Copies of this chain bind each other. A is one copy, B any other.
Amino acid sequence: MSQTIVTSSVIAPDAADSVDSVMEAPATTSSTDLRRVRSNPDYWYPVAWSRELKRGKTIGTRYAGQPIALVRPMDGKVFALEDRCAHRQVPLSLGKVSGEAVQCCYHGWAYGRSGRCIDVPYLGKGKLPNGVRTYPCREQDGLIFIFPGDPAKADSVPFPKLGSVADPAYKTRRFGEKVNCHYSFMHENLMDMNHQFMHSKQMGQMKPRFLGGRDEPLLVEARYSFARTGGKQPWGETFIFGERRDASEKYAHKDVMTIRTEYPYQTLRIATGDEPPVMDLWIVYVPQDADEKTCRVFGLLSIRRPKLRAVLDLAWPFLVAFTERIFREDRDIVELEQAAWQELGGDHNQEVFPVINMLRRLLVRGGIPMDQGKPT
């Protein structure tokens, strides 16, 4: 099933209510458990924030169990090496950056940008040992990306557009942390806005209405509007959209939330009519361990600046706290999903929302079955 090519299609808004949706076969069959699908390494993945890596320093990071040393020489671009000295496999990221090279902290073996070992202090220069693996590396808008897959593909695979982070009309919050779950739980969490129910303490009661979506080979999209059915409009929301004088459905439906997984990234935009989005989120979930049961979130949450620009800066700390609370609820629930998966030894989801089943199939299509040889 994971091999079926789904042609581009528009999903009718009433799909969620149809009886058929309940009857639908689950996205993961006995032969493919979505939580065992590895992320596809042939994409650009962020592995660190630029601010984490000072000039003349090196830090260690991870992609799906592969340790990666990021090195920022005093001059020149960041580069990425396998974070294990060829000698005794201790982390190069504990080493010392000198010039364009990093020197292992233990016996001083030195490696250049190419990964070649260029010096062993106690050996003649004639014959040096093998070096370490390198990763194509790019820095963009405060994020350091690597290409963990086949390096030959790095140039041809499109670099992602990072939402509105580069647009001066927006102010961007960079956020993220480690979450103990398979990345697929994160995609599903965000795409299924019926989970708004969980945030009702933070957001008041909002009834999501599915407006339709798209289902393409490597893209699934869902559009929603929201009607407030109870509770006070929270301050954060008031700030972004302005105050709603009435909570009539008609009014509410003018704001449309569009969530899209375009493998392996995800975006969420809120816009009124054809205006530019008031909120533009770009987010990705980067597997950390080899079994991909943990991921690190890198999110860029861009809020369109109001006319009086300073107002947004003043409000920022409150917006940060508001989004933190939301994120904490999401993190807790996906970690519980992962724990249930672990305990049951497999996926027992009974998904009834067609968009989520489309998303699940997309994540299976886009990823790599867990039993295929790991590139470690």
Q: Given the interface contacts A88-B337, A90-B340, A122-B353, does A198 sit within 8 Å of B105 by beta carbon?
A: yes
Contact between A197 and B86 (Cβ–Cβ < 8 Å)? no
**Interface residue count for A (Cβ, 8 Å)?**
53
Q: Which of these, B21, B108, B126, contacts A197 with CB under 8 Å?
A: B108
A254 to chain B, nearest CB (A): 21
A95 to chain B, nearest CB (A): 10
Q: Which of these, B124, B207, B333, B340, contacts A84 with CB under 8 Å?
A: B340
Contact between A19 and B126 (Cβ–Cβ < 8 Å)? yes
Q: Could you tell me the distance between the alpha carbons of A108 and B192 in the complex, rounded to whole angstroms?
A: 12
Q: Could you tell me the distance between the alpha carbons of A192 and B130 in the complex, rounded to whole angstroms?
A: 20
Q: Given the interface contacts A105-B333, A128-B22, A130-B350, does A122 sit within 8 Å of B194 by beta carbon?
A: yes
Contact between B129 and A194 (Cβ–Cβ < 8 Å)? no
Q: Given the interface contacts A88-B337, A89-B337, A333-B106, does A120 sit within 8 Å of B352 by beta carbon?
A: yes
Tell me the number of copies of this protein.
Answer: 3
Contact between A351 and B198 (Cβ–Cβ < 8 Å)? no
Contact between B22 and A194 (Cβ–Cβ < 8 Å)? no
- For residues 104 through 145 of chain A, which have their beta carbon under 8 Å from a beta carbon of chain B? 105-108, 120-124, 126-130
Q: Could you tell me the distance between the alpha carbons of A133 and B22 in the complex, rounded to whole angstroms?
A: 20
* A17 close to chain B: CB less than 8 A: yes
A334 to chain B, nearest CB (A): 9
A-B contact pairs, 23 of them (CB 8 A): A16-B123, A17-B123, A19-B126, A22-B123, A22-B127, A22-B129, A84-B348, A87-B349, A89-B337, A89-B340, A89-B341, A89-B349, A91-B336, A105-B198, A106-B197, A106-B333, A107-B194, A108-B194, A120-B352, A121-B194, A121-B197, A122-B210, A129-B350
A sample of 17 more A-B contacts (CB under 8 A), given A21-B123, A22-B128, A88-B340, is A17-B122, A18-B124, A19-B127, A22-B127, A22-B129, A89-B337, A89-B340, A90-B337, A94-B336, A106-B195, A106-B197, A107-B197, A108-B194, A120-B352, A122-B208, A122-B353, A129-B352
